[in-house]
């Protein structure tokens, strides 16, 4: 995982808190993880380099969950920090993906 | 796109802003002679339809209640019924539908219905959203009434009315309109009279050339017009590199999941990597995205992807950061990183 990618993830998380109107602080820890200190929870996000399937590990309290992408990370973070969030599992599929 | 697709335009604007006056003028123009009109009034007893004179080839359906909430499904039934009567030869063979909303209507659910109801969506194409703004009371109305802000925000054309009473539009009104929707051209009506061509050639579908007129429809702003204290913000995301179909799908899905209710309108032309010669036209309202329309070719030399966002407090930087992250992760996954 390049520093650029982690910085990009940090920026997304900072902006996500703004977009969701959720209070919190996003910072990098000394060991390279991303840490979010919210009013309700502290969340730690690590890159999971040894796992070919899941790129990220999200730790909320004692619970650890993996995520395939930052889209998955966003969902976990939102669920933890925003109690009013009811996940809207909208499926948007561009069918057909290419013109026929 | 079907050859007999019918453009449906929405005429909206706050109470008393001059919608019916403009509609009355339009329906007297020859090119509007074959127009079916749906007038939606909020009160128990409709009155506006009495104020509109039409040619014999036009006809009016009246719906009381508010289309955007209580009788939303009624809109689909009404349009379906109109189309059926047209097909069976039981009414004038109209080639255009205009919906005049009530002054208190939120246009977004109406757009959603037109885009998604399976009984009508494939017969219709959005012909544009026209919003009237009264120059006499417009500033205070926009300050006081959230719904009037939304009506302006989703417009493809904004029409200033009552200039004969209020004189030229005040700079403060024009500034507010630009803040809410910088992409929509602002036109003026003289006691309801307005150039119908400039008014309704605002949608995705151009009835004159029977094709998709993306440049006119998109009318994107070159710069972001977001104010930190403003609820409604308009901005355009531009990408020079083609966008993978998977990236676009994930991007739209995440937008809808996290900010759907605040995504008042999204419209764009996208250079899909898998389809370099046939751009996709995308259109979404809140949580709902229309199936993309695939153009036969690029409408101009500009092959950049351009997506116009009209949002309620969704930061532009969040949208950009989200896209960048998804694009990078999809690229990484494709090479096994």
What confidence tens digit (pLDDT) does each residue in A9-56 have?
Answer: 999 999 999 999 899 999 999 998 999 998 878 999 998 767 777 889
pLDDT of residue B74: 72
User: Quick one: DSSP state of residue B4?
Assistant: T
Length, in residues, of chain B: 337
How far is CA B48 from its chain centroid? 23
| Mutation site, A21, A88, A99, interface B, largest B CB count within 10 A | A99
Residues B68 and B159 in one domain: yes
pLDDT of residue A46: 92
CB contact under 8 A, A99 and B275: yes
Residues B195 and B325 in one domain: no
Domain containing residue B109? 6-216
Q: Is residue A28 part of a domain?
A: yes
Domain containing residue A11? 3-81
* Nearest CA-CA distance, residue A71 and chain B, Å: 7
Using DSSP, state whether B275 is helix, strand or coil.
coil
CB contact under 8 A, B291 and A95: yes
| Spatial CA neighbour of B68 closest among B37, B42, B98, B45 | B42
Pairing between β-strand B280-285 and β-strand B263-270 as defined by DSSP bridges: antiparallel
Residues B132 and B57 in one domain: yes
| Whole-angstrom distance, CA of residue B123 vs CA of residue A46 | 50
B280 touches chain A (CB under 8 A): yes
Using DSSP, state whether B291 is helix, strand or coil.
coil
pLDDT in tens, chain B (337 residues): 455 788 889 999 988 888 888 988 888 888 887 888 888 764 434 444 444 444 444 556 555 455 555 445 677 888 888 888 888 888 778 888 988 888 878 888 788 778 777 778 788 888 889 999 998 888 988 988 888 998 998 898 999 998 887 778 789 999 999 988 888 889 999 888 888 777 776 555 554 544 555 555 555 544 444 443 457 777 889 999 999 999 998 999 899 888 877 887 788 889 999 999 999 888 777 776 767 778 888 888 889 999 988 888 899 999 999 999 999 999 887 776 5
B175 touches chain A (CB under 8 A): no
Mean of pLDDT over chain A = 83
Please identify, among B216, B232, B257, the residue that sits at the C-terminal boundary of a domain. B216
The residues that bridge with A57 in the sheet, in sequence order, are: A46, A66
pLDDT of residue B85: 86
Q: Is residue A25 part of a domain?
A: yes
pLDDT of residue B103: 81
B159 touches chain A (CB under 8 A): no
pLDDT of residue B44: 38
pLDDT of residue B59: 55
Q: Is residue B92 part of a domain?
A: yes
Instruction: Return the residue matching tokens 């659910």.
Output: B109
CA closest to A18 among chain B residues:
B315
Instruction: Return the residue matching tokens 């109209």.
Output: B94
Residues B189 and B264 in one domain: no
Residues B182 and B235 in one domain: no
Residues B90 and B155 in one domain: yes
């Amino acid at each position: 995982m390049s520093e650029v990618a982690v910085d990009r993830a940090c920026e997304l998380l900072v902006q996500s808190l703004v977009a969701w109107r959720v209070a919190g602080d996003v910072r990098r820890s000394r060991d390279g993880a991303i840490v979010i200190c919210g009013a309700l929870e502290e969340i730690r996000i690590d890159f999971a380099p040894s796992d070919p399937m899941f790129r990220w590990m999200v730790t909320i309290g004692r619970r650890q969950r993996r995520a395939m992408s930052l889209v998955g990370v966003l969902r976990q973070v939102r669920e933890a920090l925003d109690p009013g969030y009811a996940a809207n599992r909208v499926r948007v599929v561009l069918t057909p993906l290419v013109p026929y | 796109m079907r050859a007999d697709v019918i453009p449906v335009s929405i005429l909206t604007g706050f109470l008393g802003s001059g919608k019916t006056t403009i509609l009355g003028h339009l329906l007297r123009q020859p090119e509007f002679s074959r127009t079916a009109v749906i007038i939606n009034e909020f009160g128990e007893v409709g009155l506006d339809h009495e104020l509109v004179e039409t040619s014999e080839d036009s006809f009016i359906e009246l719906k009381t209640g508010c289309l955007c909430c209580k009788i939303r499904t009624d809109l689909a039934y009404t349009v379906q019924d109109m189309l059926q009567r047209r097909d069976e030869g039981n009414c004038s063979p109209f080639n255009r539908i205009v919906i005049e909303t009530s002054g208190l209507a939120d246009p977004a659910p109406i757009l959603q219905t037109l885009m998604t109801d399976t009984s009508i969506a494939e017969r219709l194409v959005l012909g544009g959203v026209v919003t009237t703004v009264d120059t006499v009371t417009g500033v205070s109305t926009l300050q006081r009434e959230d719904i009037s802000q939304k009506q302006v925000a989703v417009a493809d054309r904004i029409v200033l009315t009552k200039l004969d009473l209020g004189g030229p539009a005040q700079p403060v009104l024009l500034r507010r309109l630009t803040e809410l929707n910088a992409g929509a051209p602002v036109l003026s009506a003289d006691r309801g009279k307005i150039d119908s061509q400039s008014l309704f050639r605002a949608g995705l579908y151009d009835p004159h050339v029977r094709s998709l007129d993306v440049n006119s429809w998109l009318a994107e702003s070159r710069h972001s017009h977001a104010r930190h204290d403003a609820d409604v913000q308009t901005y355009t995301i531009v990408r020079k590199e083609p966008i993978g179909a998977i990236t676009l799908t994930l991007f739209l899905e995440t937008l809808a999941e996290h900010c759907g209710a605040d995504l008042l309108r999204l419209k764009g032309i996208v250079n899909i990597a898998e389809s370099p010669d046939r751009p996709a036209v995308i259109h979404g309202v809140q949580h709902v995205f229309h199936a993309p329309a695939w153009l036969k070719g690029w409408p101009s030399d500009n092959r950049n992807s351009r997506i116009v966002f009209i949002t309620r407090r969704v930061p532009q930087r969040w949208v950009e950061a989200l896209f960048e992250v998804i694009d990078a992760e999809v690229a990484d996954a494709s090479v096994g990183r």
